[in-house]
Amino acid sequence: MHLRLFLAGWLATLSAVFGAIAQGPPPAPVRVAEVVVEQIGQRRMVTGELRSLRVADVASQEEGVVVEMAVDVGMRLEKGQLLAQLDSDRLELEKRQTQAERAASLAAVGEERAAVVRWESELESLETATARGASNPRERREVDFELSQARSKFERAELDVEVFDAKLAIIERRLQDMRIVAPFAGTVTEKLTEHGEWLAAGDSVCVLVQTDVLEVVLNVPQKYLESLAALAQSGDGLIPGKDLVVEPDALSKPIDVTEVRIVPQIGVKARTFALVGRVKNAAGALAAGQSVIGWVPTGTVAEHTVVPTDAVLRNEMGTIVYVVRERGEGPAKAMPVNIEVLFELPGRVVISGGGLRAGDRVVVEGKERLYPMASVRPMLVEPGNEQAGGRGGQPEGGNAGAPFGGDKGGRR
């Protein structure tokens, strides 16, 4: 009796296990966004690079021994920050000497002023005597001569003080120049001197590269000059940064470009012209010499299929998106579809191929752990929040609190 009960329970357990295996794993929660079809201006991919706006071999204006080297390679500096300090003891002594000479000159000014006052008093007394007929012309000439000399000496003494003031100003400036400082904010890329070395005037102490703002240079085929020139704003000739998409090779997020200008010079060999703009780099995530990809408008408008950037996945199957398909009463399935990326827009990708239609749903989060025909439980992302990190979706027949993995985007 007990044996029969044991066998019955064992068979029931096996039946439950095999039933669960037959049903497969539970549907994976994913976030999806809808495919859209719209009229979009065609864009062309071009290549370019980031460059520093300023690169300087920062040099010393004075000569002397380096008593402090305050920077190392890789240090980021603010404008005016100390790079190196030269020995200024001799200049300090020269300054003290000049200050003493100026003090002596000021004393001489007082003496000469007193002489002028004396002879002016003599002249006043002589004029009083002349009015009474008690003087002669010779005495008047002698007093006038002495007064003229006293006034000349007084003026010269005052000029001597001005000379010493100028000398002190020069010494103060030279003392300031003994402190070699950064002429602009940037990063030290090369160190050219060390503590204890002698620097002559004009010798460099380091190479400083501006890094807080970089210049992006795109090489554009000459046939697109007319369409880009049409975008240039009247007056200043700037192209709105929103009309360009620029991204470094190593990052998936586009960078903001401002002050975009056309350089109207066609290269003889490549038959390209340069498109230049400014990129802020406060976080230091970009570097001069880094290659970039740009998507520039060509002036042609056509109907295109558009999906979020985070829907695109590149792997051994090629460039694909996972499309969610309903299968009767069962769970939805994720079907990989091969596509071709035509060009990119901020947060979106214009594609062809795959037979996608407006309204189809593609997976934007959770795709990394999918496989062909995997069961999924889709949650629709609100329009305009398709990029990774958007959590505005509403579940479609599932639990809104289902967990998600660390999927960070589609381009791998």
Collapsing DSSP to helix, strand or coil, 216 comes out as strand
pLDDT at 226: 85
Report whether pLDDT(295) > 60: yes
pLDDT at 305: 92
- Enclosing H/E stretch for 191: strand 186-191
pLDDT at 383: 62
User: In the sheet that 64-69 helps form, which strands lie side by side, from edge to edge?
Assistant: 179-181, 82-86, 64-69, 198-199
pLDDT digits (tens, 9 = 90+) for 127-178: 777 777 666 777 778 878 888 888 898 899 899 999 999 999 999 999 999 9
Contact 341, 349 (CB under 8 A): yes
CATH number of 61-86+179-209: 2.40.50.100
Contact 325, 275 (CB under 8 A): no
Select 44-54+211-299's CATH number: 3.40.1450.10, 3.40.50.1000, 2.40.30.170, 3.10.20.340: 2.40.30.170
Report whether pLDDT(37) > 50: yes
What is the C-alpha to C-alpha distance for residues 391 and 401, in angstroms, rounded to an integer? 11
pLDDT digits (tens, 9 = 90+) for 307-353: 998 999 988 878 999 999 887 778 889 999 999 988 888 788 899 88
Strand partners, 344: 349
More confident residue, 49 or 230: 49
Token readout for 404 is: 């998600």
pTM above 0.85, yes or no: no
- Please name the fold of domain 25-41+302-395: 2.40.420
Report whether pLDDT(120) > 90: no
- The full set of domain ranges for the chain reads 25-41+302-395, 44-54+211-299, 61-86+179-209, 88-177
